[in-house]
Amino acid sequence: MYATVKFTGIIEQILEKAVELGIAKTKTEALRLAVLELNNKYNLLERNIEDELAIKKMQKIDREIAKGRRKLLSEKQALGKYR
């Protein structure tokens, strides 16, 4: 989603302070953090976004393994160089 918004007054000051204090690198990032905190406070989405991203990553890896693009190693193989 793309949006163009203009903030003035206290909202603008809060965003600038978040950047100044190093909480966020940019005002856009500060807005992202605010939206995530809104979800944390009000449970707007039931699933945690990190869980969803981890599931998608694991599914991608499983597909790559099935297609032979990724190799599974045993513990012995993986640690072989370090023993």
Q: What is the mean pLDDT of residues 5-34?
A: 94
Domain ranges of the chain: 1-45, 47-83
Instruction: Report the alpha-carbon distance of residue 26 to residue 24 in Å, rounded.
Output: 6
| Closest among 19, 40, 21 to 29, alpha carbons compared | 19
Tokens of 14: 């809060």
| pLDDT for res 24 | 92
pLDDT of the residue at 47? 66
Alpha-carbon gap, residue 64 to 61, rounded angstroms:
5
Q: What is the pLDDT of residue 52?
A: 82
Residue 39 has a pLDDT of 86
- What's the pLDDT tens digit per position in 22-75? 999 999 999 999 998 998 899 887 767 778 888 899 999 999 999 999 888 888
